[in-house]
Amino acid sequence: MLPSREQIERAAYERWERRGRFHGADRADWVAAEMDTVFDLNYQVVAEFWLAEPDKRVIGDARRPRCRFCEQSPPRAAFSFIRPAIPELVGNTSLFTRELCDECAKQFADSIDAEFARFWESLEALRAGTASFREIRAPTAIPIAAYKSLIRMALSLMPEQELSSFADTIEWVSNPDHAFDRSLFGNAGCLVYQAHVPFTAAWVCLSCRIEEDAPFPYMLFFLGAERLILQVHLPLCALDEDLDGREVRMPQRSFCTGTGPDLQTSTCLVLPLKSAVDPSRTRRFRLFL
């Protein structure tokens, strides 16, 4: 569903009021209002967590743990610890899961999560706000293993009733053969936003598409920490199969921060997957970033 001109005008007017009715940012307000209105009309939040709460939140049943990735339970799989659902390096101190077995945890830690840590480190200047996209040599792509790690995080906090639509996604994340996976998603990628004001704590959010046939991916994952927000869509979702052959858009958001005349829209960098496209493989849909 696309917003009407009247809906965008109303949202842009509200932004102007939040700015203290200062003039000079009409175009920026309109563009940001359009992005946010498109998102609000087409998505609803299904899971959202701050990652530095005073009390731990643990996903999963303590009496009957079952790994979300290998689907094994005791005694076939060991669950020695509750583990962070989101890596601690982004500021997670409060969100944990019982639904990750020892074997899968070790596989991810040694591969995709290690690659995500290196990718996150490459964004240090952007996270701290000491540089902008224009001032540094920002990454030009996201490694497929780091992208997989983001999808692994999304699956870890996903409501259980949604998991049945992501059986292929879970299998893909668990596949250690990244060279094989490189041909699966020719134009998938990650949006990296830099906010004007840093967040007080790290956070994560999963949002799902409202309308079945809207030209947007079904599930989006957001990870925010310091001044950065990473946005990816979850591939291989069964609920996206009806979009085969269609032009599918990745919706952007404004992520405005600041107050009064200092209210500013985040800047956004689009990072494609660091992979070679194999035109012989069929894509689920063509994603426009």
Residues linked to residue 287 through DSSP beta bridges, in sequence order? 248
Q: What values do phi and psi take at 259, rounded to 5?
A: -135, 155
Q: Residue 213 above 90 pLDDT?
A: no
Q: Cα 231 from chain centroid?
A: 4
Average pLDDT over residues 222-235: 97
Q: Where are the alpha helices (DSSP H) in the chain?
A: 5-18, 26-42, 102-110, 112-122, 124-128, 144-157, 167-174, 178-181
Average pLDDT over residues 218-228: 97
Q: Residue 281 above 50 pLDDT?
A: no
| Residue 228 DSSP code | E
Give the SS3 label for residue 288. Answer: strand
- For residue 279, cis peptide bond before it (omega within 30 degrees of 0): no
* Residue whose tokens read 């940001």: 32
Nearest to 45 by CA among 170, 186, 206, 167: 206
Q: Residue 287 above 60 pLDDT?
A: no
pLDDT at 275: 59
pLDDT at 170: 96
Q: Which of 5-19, 148-162, 209-223, 224-238 has the lowest mean pLDDT?
A: 5-19
Rounded distance between C-alpha atoms, residue 270 and residue 254, angstroms: 14
Q: Cα 8 from chain centroid?
A: 25
* Residue whose tokens read 């591969």: 111
Domain spans, the chain = 44-288
Mean pLDDT of the residues in the chain: 89
How many CB atoms within 10 Å of residue 30?
16
Q: Residue 19 above 50 pLDDT?
A: yes
pLDDT at 284: 41
Q: What is the pLDDT of residues 45-65, one digit of tens each?
A: 999 999 999 999 999 998 899
Cβ neighbours of residue 159 closer than 8 Å, sequence gap 6 or more: 46, 47
Average pLDDT over residues 196-208: 96
Give the model's confidence band at 276: pLDDT under 50 very low, under 70 low, under 90 confident, else very high. very low
Q: What is the CA radius of gyration of the chain?
A: 19
What single letter denotes the amino acid at residue 84?
A: P
Rounded distance between C-alpha atoms, residue 145 and residue 115, angstroms: 6
Give the model's confidence band at 261: pLDDT under 50 very low, under 70 low, under 90 confident, else very high. confident
* Residue whose tokens read 């009247």: 6
Q: What is the pLDDT of residues 145-179, one digit of tens each?
A: 999 999 999 999 999 999 999 999 999 999 988 76
pLDDT at 86: 98
For the chain, give the longest Cα–Cα distance.
Answer: 65
